[in-house]
Amino acid sequence: MTGCMRDVANLVRDVQHLPDQLVRSGLLFAPASMLTPSVERLHERTAGRYVSVVPEEVFTLPQIVRSTARATDLAVRHVGQCTPKVQLGVAGFSIGLSSRVPEL
């Protein structure tokens, strides 16, 4: 389980710069109904369409993604410290396994 959690933490850390780039490029979209209402978006809002997001509408998104990256790293470390050592026995052989998180 720690391996999957580590993969998620690595993925979040690797993509944490993307939301800011997507917002600045105009390639981040959201439902018009979830964004600030405007006359220009009235038709898209009533039609339930997605529209390009402007930086002022999601100014906290980059900070949220960075804090999520830190939180996933901390969660992996905490779970790695709490994971007990497991003994597996197969046909008379015993293998000691432990889940470990590599030091950063």
* DSSP string for 15-31: HTTHHHHHHHHT--EEE
Confirm whether 21 is domain-assigned: yes
Number of domains observed in the structure of the chain: 1
Q: Which residues, including other chains, have CB under 8 Å from residue 28's CB and lie 6 or more apart?
A: 19, 22, 52, 53, 58
Average pLDDT over residues 6-20: 86
Of residues 84 and 6, the one with the higher pLDDT is 6
- Encoded amino acid at 69, one letter: A
Average pLDDT over residues 61-65: 86
Q: How many CB atoms within 10 Å of residue 102?
A: 7
Condensed to tens digits (0 to 9), the pLDDT of residues 21-46 reads: 888 898 889 999 999 888 989 999 99
Confirm whether 53 is domain-assigned: yes
Confirm whether 13 is domain-assigned: yes
- Dist CA 24 CA 12 (whole Å): 20
Q: What percent of the chain has pLDDT over 90?
A: 16
Range of the domain at 19: 2-97
CB 60 within 8 A of CB 85: no
Confirm whether 104 is domain-assigned: no
Q: Kindly tell me if the per-residue pLDDT of 82 is higher than 70.
A: no
Measured in whole angstroms, the distance separating CA 68 from the mean position of its chain's CA atoms is: 6
Confirm whether 102 is domain-assigned: no
pLDDT of residue 42: 92
CB 96 within 8 A of CB 87: yes
Of the pLDDT bands very low, low, confident and very high (cuts 50, 70, 90), residue 94 is: very low
Confirm whether 54 is domain-assigned: yes
Confirm whether 81 is domain-assigned: yes
E-state strands within the chain: 29-31, 50-52, 86-90, 93-97
